[in-house]
Amino acid sequence: MERGVNMPTKTFENLPEDKKKRIKRAALEKFNEKGYDDTTISDIVKVSGIPRGSFYQYFESKFDVFYMLLVDAQMKKLEYFTEIFESEKIEAPFFDLVMEIFDVALKYLRDYPEYSRLGYWMYHSSAFEVLEIVERFDQEGVKNPLHFLKRDQKRGHIRSDIDVKTLARMLFNLFGRELIDMVEKGASDEELIRFAKKHMDILKRGAEN
């Protein structure tokens, strides 16, 4: 696999579920307490109660643990969006659904604050291996809005001179990095909804025919 994206070993996968959950909870606790950059393998080993030698039987590096948790968070997040993206609603112009998508994203972050904080530390890490994965996650995350914006542009809902790639990235950042930052700073749901509506009004007025 590419550098920085290894997953747990088969030894870890074969552990009893309760032990895997205990190790994951311990790692998530430390990453959310100290951030990726300042968390050490010793921190994870101490809280999880496993020998240091066992850690290296389960993972090649600290980043492998962090990445495993990010994948868990992404999978849980996808569950929240399935209803929208697999329903007839998705045939509507994308801008008509944006606030509903925003509400779902916010609900996910409120329901799983531990994953919200993990995302916060991901975006605020200066470690090269994390910066690499942020770039990959961003590239993947932009694909969904870009697909629907291109569709709407072909249907005439969005002006032909609009750069939909830039627009898709702006929307992705609104639902990702900016939303997570505001949640971590303690913004209320009302403040977040006002923030989203203000930005969506600007984007919609500038893009739609």
Report pLDDT digits (tens) over 71-92. 999 999 999 988 888 888 889 9
17-38 and 41-48 helices cross at what angle (nearest 10)?
A: 150
Long-range CB contact pairs, 163-172, < 8 A, 24+? 167/203, 167/207, 168/142, 169/138, 169/142, 170/203, 171/98, 171/145, 171/203, 172/138, 172/141, 172/142, 172/145
**pLDDT tens for each residue of 84-117:** 888 888 899 999 999 999 999 999 999 999 999 9
Pairwise CA distance, residues 71 & 73, whole Å: 5
Our count of domains for the chain comes to: 1
In a domain, 126, yes or no: yes
Domain with residue 151: its CATH number is 1.10.357.10
71 found inside a domain: yes
Q: Is 54 exposed, middle or buried (0-12, 13-18, 19+ CB in 10 A)?
A: middle
What's this model's pTM, rounded to 2 decimal places?
0.89
In a domain, 186, yes or no: yes
